[in-house]
A and B are shown apart, each in its own frame.
Chain A
Amino acid sequence: MNLPSADFLTQMTQPIDRVLAQVNRIILGKDHQIRLALSCLLAGGHLLIEDIPGVGKTTLAHALATTLGLNFQRIQFTSDLLPADIIGVSVYDREEASFKFHPGPIFTQVLLADEVNRATPKTQSALLEAMEERQVTTEGETRPLPEPFFVIATQNPSHQVGTFPLPESQLDRFLMRIQLGYPGPDAERALLQGSSRRDLLNRLEPCTGPAELASLRDGVTRVHAAPALIDYLQALIQHTRASTEFAGGLSPRAGLALLHAARAWALMDGRSEVLPEDVQAVIPGVVGHRLHAAGQHGRINGVDVAARLIAAVAIP
């Protein structure tokens, strides 16, 4: 294994810092959430942003896509959206006397699925299948999706009217779920005084491109996870399975997700090895939608579950 040099780290952190700086100019006062979102994409996972309307979910998704220099499609999910509206349809072409496939908006590098929980389960599952397989099969033909392919979905909290909550099996396909929350007073003030977000978005220039993104993603896989860190991860996972505090423990897939995200986080921090702190930083995003506190009526906040988990497990 060739050892990553200091050179390697600067090579990695420079574009990351640029991306972060730019997105931070659009979304104010949400540095931690933006880092989480970016680490999710660097780890190659799909991102779910859950919050009430109007806190900037769509703006964040849009800003991320543009800044990363990826082409971008947006689908507004509604209850009458059909799978074909996402994947595409074959239409009879009279001149060529054959069916011609018209690709849907899913054939893009970043797909923003806005208010994903307002669509019917059938449409949701069409999207989520594509997310997992990274390819689409219609009328017996399999078509690969572009590389990279990210889904950034936003959803309203499921207790709002007119939503179909995503089942747990589909929530699991998102590497992370983050919540934005209200901005702080200073950020709010800056937001109110500043120019319109839409203008800013339109003027946004990409900071990087698909090629650099691919090398960043490769860099993430080269971040070192020491045996001592794997011990800590295992202790965390084991605790969720053994403790009665949680209804059902973390799956092996969730464990892998935790490790990938932690690696991305470490890289963003400019380190070539994962620390327990990196794991703790991504736990709220990775674990919040996969783990539920036992014996509680209604879902408890993902951040609270994560905090409980972190506090309960000692670092070996």
Chain B
Amino acid sequence: MTKSLDPRNVTWMALSMALVMLPHVERLPLWISLLAVLVVGWRLYVAWQGMSLPKKWLLLLLVAAASAGIYLSFGTLFGRDSGVALLVVMLTLKLLEMASLRDAMIVIFLSYFGILTEFLYSQTIPTALLMLVGVWVVTATMIGLQWRGGAIRYQDSLRLSLQMLAQATPLMLVLFLLFPRVQGPLWGLPRDAYAGITGLSDSMSPGTLSQLTLSDAVAFRVQFQGAMPKPTQLYWRGPVLWYFDGMSWHMGISFESGAPSYSPGAEAFSYTVTLEPHDKRWLFALDLPAKLAPNSRFTNDFQMLSITPVRQRMRYEMTSHTSYRLGYEGLTSFERRRALQLPEGYNWRARALAQNMRRAARDETDMVDRVLGMFRTQQFFYTLTPPLLGEHPIDEFLFTTRSGFCEHYASAFVFLMRAAGIPARVVTGYQGGELNPVGNYMIVRQSEAHAWAEVWLEDKGWLRVDPTAAVSPLRVESGIAAAIPATDPLPLLIRGDIEWLRQLRFTWDSLANTWNQWVLGYNPERQFWLLSRVGLDRATWQTLATILVATTTLITLMFAFAMLRRLSRRTRDPVAKAYRKFCRKLARRGAPRAPSEGPADYAVRAAAQLPHAAAAIKAISERYIKLRYGRPRGGESVRELKRLVAELKV
């Protein structure tokens, strides 16, 4: 095919390609975006000026240079980010050697693939909509390329493309619902796909959690079966931190030896957690979980750890007891040593304070109350933007700055306990959660990240103590938005003071949740559940495949039938049908009728070309003209025309 491409089509291709790449721009190095713009501009210039495409050696040079550039920028040619960058560069460079319709079709298919890569980064509803727009425009571009008979107006190609997508929708739904599913993803994403996901980590230093509070990303959603716990019971347990180096807290060694037994109270809550991917192993559950989620283990301090990092959305059923007695049998000497560990040489004043208080206190319980009382009665402030702390952070916090976020209070509390000889540890996780009245489920966001403390008391075991609650009872009872001063920076979405925004947010989140559960989380279980609802119990993949093939065939046949009907409406006229037969007969003898040739003109021309049949041609044409264009009359019969056409010998 040597027909050169219409500049208008080239412009369309450039446009759809821009649409495909636009979402990637913010993630790509600047030079790649610039290169893409430059190459597209070059191609457009070439197309509109009617110049020739660049030479092969120049293209090879460009490809080599761009590949080298990507290698230098990313340090590799593999992986998600560099792979996408490579695709974007090659896709734009392909434009420069696009000379024929075949090349253009390759670019079209690559564009479809380019749209797909957006899924590697985000799978939300807006992304899906954006991609749909991309598919729409790329399809319209393809229609423009394949259009025969002059150029097509952009409104028409867009409308046609929309029509085609609409026709494809039933097929898409059938394939989505019925295609046999496999558990888990078909393939894993490269490692670099999980960079930049926010969430709790295995260490805590001043500022860690208050940073997290600035994110309104959803950590997980919870659907309660039956009663819901009170706000003050909503402690979602995450990483437990033992080791303090004077500045920050770490997990230290964790033992995945299984959970120690505990005696639960009467109250139990059942719920389903849908956890967003966070690339760590923690599975969050209310204090304390009564059972394990699938494919996970307990550590001996009741962290629930998944076997593999959570890299895709995960659903698990959970039961928790909010009142319990844990570890009252006693501590091992190793545990005690870990729970009393403090770095030497730091925070002298805090140590002294703890020792003085311990001497004044009647027992350990009284000691806990005294420290909490100190936070409550003295001038301590709860703020998201505490002043920076120096070499002795606990000292400075307790005696100088006196304002901090939950990590400051938890950290200072555990420090004071340990200094007073009481075993204690820091527990991080989430506190609270927002009930979405639209979908009747609870949203827990990164902004609800929290740190609290556990102390071990003789005969009572591990007790949860939340020093933040002493400073700011509102934080635990009403959530983070109520507890933070209005001047502190907090994401707009977390603030609850704009009513319509709140409503909108709830509706949107409910929609997103449904999307997550039913579209992204459509797994074999969901599929079988759905099929059992329509009476297909225990459907094997063979039955699924049979239904799939049958339905797609049915839908295709329905569309084909509708199209055929529309076509045949024109062919039903017996006069036109007879004439077409006549034209076909003449065409076989080398006198085909041009589509725009009138019957009288054709008769003259055909008779001249086929002189031996001239009389018959004339007779048939005259009858046809009378029947088709003349006044309706009784005399001329269609049968006569048909007979003449049938008898025509050429």
Contacts and interface: CB of A to CB of B under 8 A. Distances in A.
Contacts, number: 60
Given A274-B629, A275-B629, A312 B598 contact: no
Contacts of A163: none
A167 interface: no
Contacts of B150: 243-245, 312
Interface stretch (B55-63, B151-159, B241-249, B525-533): B151-159
A236 to B, nearest CB: 10
A242 B576 CA distance: 26
Given A277-B601, A312-B149, A316-B570, A228 B629 contact: yes
Interface string A235-259: 0000000111100000000000000
B537 to A, nearest CB: 53
B629 A273 contact: yes
A276 B598 contact: yes
B25 interface: no
Nearest to A279: B598
Interface in A278-316: 280, 310-316
Contact of B596 (A228, A274, A312): A312
Contacts of A280: 596, 598
B595 interface: yes
Contact of B598 (A243, A244, A277): A277
Contacts of A179: none
Given A245-B151, A316-B570, A272 B631 contact: yes
A226 interface: yes
Given A243-B151, A245-B150, A312-B149, A224 B596 contact: no
Interface in B100-155: 149-153
A245 B600 CA distance: 28
A226 B630 contact: yes
Contact of B628 (A228, A242, A310, A312): A228
A3 interface: yes
Contacts of B149: 312
Given A275-B600, A276-B598, A314-B595, A224 B153 contact: no
Nearest to A225: B629
B599 interface: yes
Contacts of A201: none
Nearest to B152: A244
A295 B176 CA distance: 45
Interface string A2-24: 01000000000000000000000
A311 B629 contact: no
A229 interface: yes
B596 A273 contact: no
A189 B156 CA distance: 53
A276 B153 contact: no
B625 interface: yes
A275 B625 contact: yes
B8 to A, nearest CB: 8
A244 B153 contact: yes
B559 to A, nearest CB: 23
Interface string A212-239: 0000000000001010110000000000
Contacts of B626: 273
B630 A314 contact: no
Interface string A131-164: 0000000000000000000000000000000000
B597 interface: yes
A244 B6 CA distance: 13
B151 A273 contact: no
Tier of interface size on chain A: 20 to 34
Contacts of A245: 150-151
Nearest to B630: A273
A202 B628 CA distance: 47
A244 B8 CA distance: 11
Interface residue range, chain B: 20 to 34
Contacts of B595: 314-315
User: Which of B152, B599, B630 has the largest count of A CB atoms less than 10 A from its CB?
Assistant: B630
Contacts of A314: 595-596
Contacts of A272: 630-631
Given A312-B596, A315-B595, A273 B631 contact: yes
Nearest to A276: B598
Interface in B563-605: 570, 576, 595-601
A195 to B, nearest CB: 37
Contacts of A224: 629-631
Contact of A315 (B8, B156, B598, B631): B598
Contact of A277 (B8, B153, B600, B628): B600
Contacts of B156: 242
Contacts of A276: 598-599, 629
A213 to B, nearest CB: 25
A270 to B, nearest CB: 12
B231 to A, nearest CB: 64
Interface string B622-643: 0001101111000000000000
A244 B151 contact: yes
B629 A229 contact: yes
A229 B596 CA distance: 13
Contacts of B625: 273, 275
B596 A311 contact: yes
Contacts of B152: 244
A313 B599 CA distance: 15
Nearest to B8: A244
A312 B149 CA distance: 7
Nearest to B595: A314
Contacts of B597: 315
A311 B595 CA distance: 8
Contacts of B570: 316
A274 B626 CA distance: 10
A226 B628 contact: yes
B626 to A, nearest CB: 8
B629 A242 contact: no
A244 B631 CA distance: 36
A275 B576 CA distance: 15
Contacts of A277: 598-601
B591 to A, nearest CB: 16
Given A226-B630, A242-B156, A315 B151 contact: no
B598 A275 contact: yes
Given A312-B149, A316-B570, A226 B596 contact: no
Nearest to B628: A228
A243 B153 CA distance: 7
A272 B633 CA distance: 13
Nearest to B633: A3
Nearest to A1: B631
Nearest to A294: B151
Nearest to A266: B629
A304 to B, nearest CB: 14
A242 B153 contact: yes
Contacts of B599: 275-277, 315
A276 B628 CA distance: 11
Nearest to A274: B629
Contacts of B151: 243-245
Nearest to A4: B631
B582 to A, nearest CB: 14
A225 B430 CA distance: 82
Contacts of A310: 596
Interface in A52-83: none
Closest 7 CB pairs of A and B: A314-B595, A277-B598, A276-B598, A244-B151, A226-B629, A273-B630, A224-B631
Interface of B: 8, 149-153, 156, 570, 576, 595-601, 625-626, 628-631
Interface of A: 3, 224, 226, 228-229, 242-245, 272-277, 280, 310-316
8 contacts: A224-B631, A226-B630, A228-B628, A244-B8, A273-B630, A274-B629, A277-B601, A314-B595
Given A244-B151, A275-B625, A276-B598, 12 more contacts: A3-B631, A224-B629, A226-B631, A228-B629, A243-B150, A272-B630, A273-B631, A274-B629, A275-B598, A277-B599, A277-B600, A312-B150
